[in-house]
Amino acid sequence: MMLKQLLDYARAKDGVEYEYKESWQADVVKVKGKMFAFAGQDKAGNNIINLKNDPAVNLELRAAFPDFVTAGYYSNKEHWNSWYYAKKGLKMGLLKEQIDRSYELVAD
């Protein structure tokens, strides 16, 4: 259920394109033709959503929320974080803030 809410939130932004990429088995959300979020699973089968942010902020987030965020899986580890959105205790508001930031970085 949380994934649907996250994808609906991301898809509601201006100029957003969505596709399910079968070869990745992932939901991909783009703005201006560039990806700002994708959701799938890591090798262990854990549900993740990858979101872009400033490299320094990514390091801060990983330190502040070690149970929920790690360096971007399947992506540039400096610019992307993987969020384990299905873990108990992670707040939807925090993920929405991260979606907003990722969208802003890519749309600008």
pLDDT, one tens digit per residue, over 71-91 is 999 899 999 999 999 999 999
Rounded CA separation 40/104 (Å): 22
Model pTM score: 0.95
Nearest to 41 by CA among 82, 76, 70, 7: 82
Which residue ranges make up each domain of the chain?
2-107
pLDDT at position 87, please? 93
> What's the mean per-residue pLDDT of the chain?
96
Domain topology for 2-107: Aspartate Aminotransferase, domain 1 (3.90.1150)
pLDDT at position 1, please? 62
pLDDT at position 85, please? 95
3-state secondary structure of 29: strand
Tokens encoding 9: 């939130």
Q: How confident is the model at residue 52 (pLDDT cuts 50, 70, 90)?
A: very high
DSSP letter string, 40-72: EE-TT--EEEEEE--HHHHHHHHHH-TTTEEEP
